[in-house]
Amino acid sequence: MIVNDRIVTFLHSLEQANPPLLLEMEQFAAVHHVPIIRKEMESFLQVMIRISAPRRILEVGTAIGYSALIMAQAMPADCEIITIENYEKRISAARENIRRAGMDTRITLIEGDAMKVLPELEGTFDFIFMDAAKGQYLHFLPEILRLMPEGGVLISDNVLQEGDLIESRYTVTRRNRTIYSRMREYLYLLKHHPVLETSIIPIGDGITVSVRRPDGPDTEKG
């Protein structure tokens, strides 16, 4: 844990229970080891959506549709969500969960590799939630910036990797070294990018909140 686990347990104890479908999805995720957003991220996302009142939300990384449905609870009545998922085994579950929630007319699930899907998207998204392959965030960013209007919000999840991101590369598994190196580069880029104002927040597994500056130069490159 990044934050003291006693504090996290206390914060979780204050959260209200989710509707039955989301509780069922939580149990499914626990049994089948499907990564879904943490409890503290649920309320954070919903607060940010209510503050920003987006008309279009883009999610990169659907999994079983849990976070999309969490966001849908807080989005304005005229808002839509487009969410991208590449893992075939989870797509059918996500579609079914979205249908059961009665949100299939407001949440559009696009199947495919985000690196191929993002360049095909048109228009802009007021609110973007990135929760996909962590080693790819850096590569997604140029297209994400293309899709962000001035004042648009980008939230990236799991950026501190249980705190291991600050450890020496020799103390982490060889498999994670490239991921951690790319994530550190991603964080540096967000903090120094000419069109973004970014805060790194140590809740959950670490998140970033970035806003596109209204006075920044228009660019599609990271």
CATH of the domain at 85: 3.40.50.150
Pairing mode, strands 153-157 and 207-212: antiparallel
Residue 40 phi/psi, 5-degree rounding, is -65, -25
The token duo for 28 is: 């499914």
The boundaries of the domain holding residue 80 are 5-212
The token duo for 148 is: 């962000």
Class of residue 12 by CB neighbours under 10 A (exposed 0-12, middle 13-18, buried 19+): exposed
- 162 occurs within a structural domain: yes
Look at residue 62 and tell me whether its pLDDT is greater than 80.
yes
- 72 occurs within a structural domain: yes
Look at residue 125 and tell me whether its pLDDT is greater than 50.
yes
- 71 occurs within a structural domain: yes
What is the arithmetic mean of pLDDT over 152-166?
78
Q: How confident is the model at residue 220 (pLDDT cuts 50, 70, 90)?
A: very low
Look at residue 4 and tell me whether its pLDDT is greater than 60.
yes
Q: How many CA atoms lie within 13 A of 187 on its CB side?
A: 20
Kindly state the helix (H) or strand (E) to which residue 191 belongs, with its residue range: helix 174-192
- 218 occurs within a structural domain: no
pLDDT, residue 73, reads 96
- 221 occurs within a structural domain: no
- 222 occurs within a structural domain: no
- 217 occurs within a structural domain: no
Average pLDDT of the chain? 89
212 touches 155 (CB < 8 A): no
What is the arithmetic mean of pLDDT over 32-48?
94
What is the arithmetic mean of pLDDT over 171-179?
62
What is the arithmetic mean of pLDDT over 160-169?
57
pLDDT, residue 166, reads 54
Look at residue 116 and tell me whether its pLDDT is greater than 90.
yes
* Amino acid residing at 175: R
135 touches 182 (CB < 8 A): yes
pLDDT, residue 127, reads 98
The token duo for 21 is: 């479908």
Q: How many CA atoms lie within 13 A of 62 on its CB side?
A: 32
Closest-CA residue to 141 (of 62, 90, 208): 208
pLDDT, residue 215, reads 64
Look at residue 59 and tell me whether its pLDDT is greater than 50.
yes
Dihedral angle, C-alpha 75, 80, 83, 88, nearest 10 °: 110
Dist. CA 59–CA 81, nearest whole Å: 7
Residue 207, classed as helix, strand or coil, is strand
Task: Note the pTM of the prediction, 2 decimals.
Answer: 0.89
Look at residue 216 and tell me whether its pLDDT is greater than 50.
no
Look at residue 72 and tell me whether its pLDDT is greater than 90.
yes
Percentage of the chain beyond pLDDT 90 is: 71
Look at residue 7 and tell me whether its pLDDT is greater than 90.
no
- 184 occurs within a structural domain: yes
How many domains, the chain? 1
